[in-house]
């Protein structure tokens, strides 16, 4: 009986760690996207074809990272579920998003990270 309880606790801790990893990946992806957009604004003006290629590239990188993060974290999955459907394509990828949308996504992820940190500290103080 004691071994089963210990196994359950270990599984629960592993799930929390996976959630932390997914959240970290999602936050990093949002930060990378914002940094990429900032660097682009600092560079010289480009033609429409370059702009389209740039948009496809940063959105693809963001979607790839968020897909991986979602697989690792129910928290990230919940945050991504809050994104308005008109920003997504038929496959559920973030396609029609702007910099402001990435900032909002980042803020939501930070809120969740803060809540998770708060509950972890509370649990640690109770033990």
Q: In this predicted structure, what is the pLDDT of residue 120?
A: 59
**Between vectors from CA 37 to CA 36 and to CA 40, what angle results, nearest 5°?**
85
Helices (H), 43-93: 48-72, 74-81
Residues paired with 88 in a beta bridge: 94
Mean pLDDT of 90-107: 94
Q: In this predicted structure, what is the pLDDT of residue 47?
A: 83
The CA distances from residue 50 to 62, 63, 94, 110, 118, in Å, are 18, 20, 20, 32, 44
DSSP 91: T
Local confidence band at 20 (pLDDT 50, 70, 90 cut-offs): confident
Q: Could you tell me if 34 and 88 are in contact, meaning their C-beta atoms sit under 8 angstroms apart? A: no
For residue 41, give the nearest of 99, 82, 91, 92 by alpha carbon: 99
Predicted confidence (pLDDT) at residue 17 exceeds the cutoff of 60:
no
| N-terminal to C-terminal alpha carbon distance within the chain | 21
Could you read off the pLDDT of 46-89 as tens digits, one per residue?
888 888 999 999 999 999 999 999 999 999 999 999 999 999 99
């Amino acid at each position: 009986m004691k071994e089963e309880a210990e196994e359950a606790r270990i599984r629960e801790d592993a799930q929390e760690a996976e959630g932390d990893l997914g959240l970290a990946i999602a936050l990093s992806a949002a930060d990378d996207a914002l940094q990429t957009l900032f660097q682009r604004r600092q560079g010289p003006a480009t033609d429409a074809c370059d702009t389209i290629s740039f948009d496809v590239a940063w959105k693809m990188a963001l979607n790839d990272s968020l897909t991986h993060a979602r697989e690792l974290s129910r928290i990230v999955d919940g945050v991504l579920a809050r994104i308005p459907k008109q920003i997504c394509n038929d496959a559920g990828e973030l396609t029609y998003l702007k910099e402001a949308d990435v900032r909002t996504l980042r803020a939501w992820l930070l809120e969740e990270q803060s809540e998770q940190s708060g509950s972890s500290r509370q649990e640690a103080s109770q033990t």
